[in-house]
Every structure is written in structure tokens, then in C-alpha cells.
A = this chain, B = another copy of it.
Amino acid sequence: MAETSAQTPAATAPVVILNAPQLAENIGAVARVMANFGLSELRLVNPRDGWPQERAWASASGADWPLNAAKVFQSVSEAIADLRLVYATTARPRELQLPILTPRRAAADLRQATADGLRTGLLFGGERAGLETADVALCQAVVTIPIDPRFRSLNLAQAVAINGYEWWTFALDAPPPAFRDGAPPADSATLLGFYEHLERELDAAGFFHPPEKTPSMVQNLRSALGRARFTDQEVRTFRGVVTALSRGRGKVLEKLAKKKAGEEAAK
């Protein structure tokens, strides 16, 4: 990790993920500010008008490389699957119990994670819809740009610019040594696999009632567990916990029931 990050800052800079971006011009403007602030990896989740689009290149003023290499995904969870620290930029208050950070504090965290060799990302919502709470729940914190409450309509590229600026400015300071000397946090795909395992078992156990509350219950479980930043080993351990709880007790009762059945049959 140290070797690659020594080559160019961009190699380990946060990935910029745009969820459902609408205007190609804005995607191009995002690429331009990414280039201004040392970011290079762009991922697009369901761009409204498809991809690629010429108008994006036209508005990037020569910052073509993030656009040329941009990857398209079908869902936020796929787009962040390989990332180990993802912050969602949103101004809307959420029901989630996630830390709310300024761009400056977020940049410090992202620098630290990068110094620790972790792949990171910044997730932004589309121009109109922003982010679904279910997608925010997959992230480890929310970044909220301090803004005049009398006029909150911030352009997408401006939101990327402010975060990119803080990331780049922070570069001037060398981060202190790694804060965690053990294993890194699991990537998002691993976490999602664990969440889905837990939720399947909870569903089988009749935990989600009333049914219409399932999405918000799921989001609350995910965001609360996400804060722990489990390692791969810990995810395996907690998958074992879920399995043990859902199957183990079952087996105990199964045995008891069999024993009883045997006794009754013997009568």
C-alpha cells in the first residue's frame, strides 16, 4: 500500500460515486473538480441518460481521464462493494444513528484510512432525488457541508468540489501512523452479505413486524452494526453467531422434541 500511495496521490484517493446523476454536464463538471483536487476514480450508479454521453466530456474542460475510466453500476451496494470506508454526502437529516461529519473532519478520516491502506469512497446523490436512506445506511458516516440554511440548493459538482478541496488541502499534512494495527475493516460486499444473512434469519424468525416497517428496521440494524467497522474475521464470527442462534437453539429443541416424541412413541 505504502508503495502505491508513494507514486501518486490519486492512486489511493477516495473513489467518487454518483448515485443516479441526471445531467451529463454535471458529470463532466464533477470530473473537472475531481481533477482539480487529485481525485481520479469515478463510478456512476444508474446515470439517468445512460453512459457514455458526449456532453460530459464537453463540460469537463479537458479532465477526460475520470470520464474515460468511469464505471457504471446497477446499485450503490455494487458500486461500493470493494471499499472499506464510504461516507455519504447529504444535507437531509436521517433516521439513522450515523456520525455526522464536516467535510474537513471527513477528509481527515479519509486521509487516515488511506494511510492505513484502505480503499475509500465518497457517495453523492443525484441532482433531484439525492440519496435513499437505505443507501446511506451502507455507509460509515454522513458528511454534511455547512451551508446557509436559507439557501440549501447546492450544485452536485460544488458538493464534490468542497469535499475534494478538503481532501486535497489535508494532503499537505502527513497523517499520523495507523490507528488500527490489526486487520482492516471488511469491505462493503462482505458487510452486506452479513447483513442479508442476519435479515434472512430474522425474517424466518418472524422478527420483522409489522411487515411495512421492515425497510426502516433493516436500515437501523445496518447502520448500527456498520458503525462497529467489523473486520473480515469479525464478520465471520458474527455470521457464526447468527447461525448458532438460529440453528443451534433449533437443534437443542429438535433433540428435545425428538426425545419427547421417542418417549411418547414408547408409551
Q: Which A residues contact B (CB, under 8 angstroms)?
A: 1, 4-5, 29, 32-33, 35-38, 61-63, 97, 99-102, 104-105, 144-148, 150-155, 157-158, 161-162, 165, 168-169, 172, 176-183, 198, 201-202, 204-207, 217, 220-221, 224-225, 227-231, 234, 237-238, 240-242, 244-254, 256-258, 260-261, 264-265
Nearest residue, chain B, Cβ from A95:
B182
| A167 → B minimal CB distance (Å) | 11
Cα A109 to Cα B202 with chains together (Å): 35
Cα A225 to Cα B230 with chains together (Å): 9
| A8 → B minimal CB distance (Å) | 9
| A182 → B minimal CB distance (Å) | 6
Cα A225 to Cα B234 with chains together (Å): 10
Q: Are B205 and A252 in contact (CB under 8 A)?
A: yes
Q: Are A206 and B248 in contact (CB under 8 A)?
A: yes
Nearest residue, chain B, Cβ from A152:
B36
A153 interface neighbour in B61, B97, B198, B204, Cβ under 8 Å: B61
Nearest residue, chain B, Cβ from A59:
B155
Cα A29 to Cα B256 with chains together (Å): 60
A-B pairs, top 5 by smallest CB distance, nearest first, are A205-B248, A257-B257, A261-B261, A35-B151, A245-B245
8 contacts between A and B (CB under 8 A): A5-B150, A97-B182, A100-B181, A202-B245, A202-B248, A207-B248, A227-B228, A246-B249
